[in-house]
Amino acid sequence: MASFIPVSDASDFSFSNLPWGAVVWTDGTTHLATRLGGTVISLRALHQAGMFAGFAELQQDCFNAFIDRGPEAWSAVRRELQALYRAGSAWESSPLRAACEADCAAVANVLPVRIGDYTDFYASRQHATNVGMMFRDPANALLPNWLHLPVGYHGRASTVAVSGTDVVRPNGQRKGPNDPAPVFGPSVKLDFELEVGVVLRGGPTDGSWISVDQAESHIFGLVLFKDWSARDIQQWEYVPLGPFLAKNFASTMGAWIVPFEALEGARCAGAPQEDPSPLPYLKQDRRASHWDLTLEVAIVAADGRETVISTSNAKHLYWSFAQQIAHHSINGCVLRSGDLLASGTISGDEPGSYGSMLELTWNGSKPIRLHDGSERAFIEDGDTVALRGRTAQGPRIGFGDCLARILPAKPWQK
């Protein structure tokens, strides 16, 4: 199926995609929207023009209420969009179209969901192994629980910001292994984590859970996600209760949520889970439980020149999103529409596929050289980190750039 709006083959936003987003429209109000090539299409304006009968939730400024409607509603809206914008549709010549469309440069993206809770997992075996080798016994890099359950921690939803939002370098305590006492000041080991997130539909509220076989019906869509980490602050504070100030100061979410059903053709098998085999509540009947998504990280220096520093793939995750959802809810934890689960750092087998500076530079011991000849052990002020992702096979379905620039730390005075 083709659209009457021309879309470049190099665009992430093909007619097969039709992602979910929210923008500040040309009149200054927030509209739920989708995107086709460089054209942003207002779902709110389409509803006001008589489309999407029965879906008044599309008039709101976030998708939470629409997400509550479930997969049948999501598919119904996508089908109507495809019918409207297919080649030969009468909508092409409608005088109402102009009020429903805008160039992507004329609108500003905002978060498309109200995130009540955010959980970050640790689902890449390669990443967990690298970190274990770096800071623990290399012969026993994985902790005893890692192959039995999806390890995760609860993050801070209040500091999740949309792509394009600057990140201020955090202050905090840090203490190196040979330092006599901790010091306070800006983090000197600021890092990113290459992740993919899922936006959820709510689950049971009566103490029951979402089974691994039903979990995918609770995924509204996938999104690029960048979890910022202050590694020096983290190393000092994380024992015994795990990440705190080193993680909660900022996370960057992509502006466009790719619909779950749009990625059906990108399914692939995950790594075998046989030794050990997961406990029954985590076993999956569906073998193609992962997604073949090419992921890329680039550092854009202050002069505007970029260097691609990592190329990875979402298929490298060990624990699937369905398993993460099932484990998260198995104790009766209530998941609500708009909640965000992130995969944790996605790293492949080769150094060029690692998903963090911690791994790419091996904790700063092997700096990366950028195009201008400068080197990076970790992220510096003025750097912009760009994440990109798209389907590896078939029609191009992508997420758009997930961008954030680092600003200097705020000065602190007693």
- Residue numbers annotated as active site: 127
Strands of 116-164, DSSP E: 118-121, 152-154, 160-162
CA distances from 69 to 72, 113, 169, 201, 206 (A): 8, 14, 39, 9, 19
Among 390, 275, 410, 335, smallest CA distance to 115 is for 335
- Beta 21-24 vs 30-36: how paired, if at all? antiparallel
3-state helix, strand, coil split of the chain in percent (to 5) is 25, 30, 50
Q: How is residue 79 annotated by DSSP?
A: H
Tokens of 152: 């995760």
Among 39, 387, 356, 353, smallest CA distance to 197 is for 387
Contacts of residue 49, defined as CB under 8 A and 6 or more positions apart, other chains included, come to 96, 99, 100
Virtual torsion, Cα 119, 153, 146, 334, nearest 10 deg: -60
Q: How is residue 373 annotated by DSSP?
A: S
Amino acid type, 19: P
Contacts of residue 180, defined as CB under 8 A and 6 or more positions apart, other chains included, come to none
Tokens of 136: 């623990």
Among 262, 264, 260, 267, smallest CA distance to 220 is for 260
Tokens of 113: 């969901």
The whole-angstrom separation of Cα 217 and Cα 230 is 35
The whole-angstrom separation of Cα 341 and Cα 151 is 12
Tokens of 395: 């029609």
